[in-house]
Amino acid sequence: MRKIIIFLAVFVFIFSLSSICWAGDPATPELTLQQAIDKAKGNSKSLQAAGYDVDRSYEVRKNASDSVTFIPAEGSQNPSADRAFIGLVQADLNWQMAKRNLSAQEDTLVMQVYQLYDGILQAQEKVKAAEVQLKNAERQRAVADASYRAGILNKMGLIQAQSAVEAAKTGLETAKKNLDDLYQNFNLLVGLEMKDRPVLVDRPEFSELKVDDLEVAVSRAVDQSPTVWLKEQQINLAKLALDLYNWNVPGTDPYEAKKYDMSKAEVSAQDTRDQMAKLVRSIYYSIKQLEEQYTSARESVKVAEENLRVTRVKYEVGMAIETDVIAAEASLAQAKQNLVDITCQHDILVYAFSKPWAYAASPSTSSGSSGSSK
């Protein structure tokens, strides 16, 4: 009986240790882009707060509506009725703003998921290329060391080979650090543990952006912009304050001041429209540049693949050495990395073209990370 108790105690102890080890291992769930977007939305406290803002502003709007007994005419001499109606218009505007803000925040969140999702794919490709580059540099250093000992390479050549290895090590460490940073940002966004390393199963597919008329597309994007809409509502509010101006209320700003307020609102709205239109055109031209680069990058991959195939055949028959094969592998890895970068950048900009306000508001835009996947 005593042996059984000891055996059970040991089993429980070992099982507990195993559980602790398993709990410490990073999770590797498979995630599609859409799954990542859904998880990010469910995890976002900002979206939750924006939803509450919509509900709150609606209640305020209902309360303001109860205070309006009639709609005052232009030039009304009833200050209390004017204030109540302006209050209702402002409350209704705040409600509409809250709804637009919720929608805009969702667009921005999706943009961030795109950028981080594909950013990880790009970073993974860079790590692969850096690993091959280090392997190539180390093999070249070995050859240089042998050549130096044989007296057919000078000291400077050996130092250069050694420096190339150190540079390759630094490049690999930097690539791995960048990948870890992107994973942490991604995990924070979608609600995973910092140590988790989700497997991203979607890959961006390159598809040329078709735009029949750029100016029509620009105009449509500007009209749909929540930022532009808000600025134009400020014009309407300033115009209402001007129409219902009451000369008999003491302490009121001068009528001319109200006119300047309206002019300022118009200028601000036009400037916002111009900036948004400029952004859309800039995104479009960047997309087209990437499309031109894509063809060349794809051909470079094909050339590098063929060069590696030929080099391996030569190596098998003794017409090439191992360093030639490794160098060809490094060239192919670099070519693939360049193709992935172009594909991801193109995909994120295509999404940005349809939601330019989200692109402008995304923190990842200024940090230089980009990425998306369909």
List, as one string, the DSSP characters of 247-275. TTSTTPPPHHHHHHHHHHHHHHHHHHHHH
Instruction: Look at residue 71 in the predicted model and tell me its pLDDT.
Output: 61
pLDDT of residue 74: 56
Q: Which residue has the higher pLDDT, 23 or 297?
A: 297
Predicted local distance difference test score (pLDDT) of residue 256: 84
Between residues 144 and 86, which one has the greater pLDDT?
144
Mean pLDDT within 167-177? 97
- Most confident stretch, 6-10, 124-128, 152-156: 124-128
Detail the DSSP E strand segments found in 77-221: 199-200
Split at pLDDT 50, 70, 90, the class of 297 is very high
| Span 211-231, average pLDDT | 93
Asked if pLDDT for residue 290 goes beyond 90, the answer is yes
Q: Worst-scoring range by mean pLDDT, 69-83, 114-128, 201-215, 328-342?
A: 69-83
d(CA 122, CA 340): 6
For the record, the structure tokens of 210 come out as 């078709």
Question: What's the pLDDT score for residue 367?
Answer: 42
What percent of the chain shows pLDDT beyond 90? 67
Instruction: Give the integer Cα–Cα distance in Å for 53 and 99.
Output: 8
Distance, in Å, from the CA atom of 117 to the CA atom of 236, rounded to the nearest integer, reads: 41
Q: Is residue 86 within 8 Å of 345, Cβ to Cβ?
A: no
pLDDT exceeds cutoff 90 at 291: yes
Q: What is the pLDDT of residues 21-40, one digit of tens each?
A: 444 577 888 999 999 999 99
Q: Which domains does the chain have, with CATH numbers?
A: 31-362 (1.20.1600.10)
Weakest-pLDDT range from 13-17, 33-37, 126-130: 13-17
Are the beta carbons of 73 and 145 closer than 8 angstroms? no
Going by pLDDT thresholds of 50, 70 and 90, the confidence category of residue 78 is low
Averaged pLDDT, 166-195? 96
| Inter-axis angle of helices 155-190 and 79-149, nearest 10 | 150
Query: Which pLDDT band, with edges at 50, 70 and 90, does 64 fall under?
Result: confident
- Residue 251 burial (C-beta neighbours within 10 Å; 0-12, 13-18, 19+): exposed
Query: How many other CB atoms sit within 10 Å of the CB of residue 256?
Result: 8
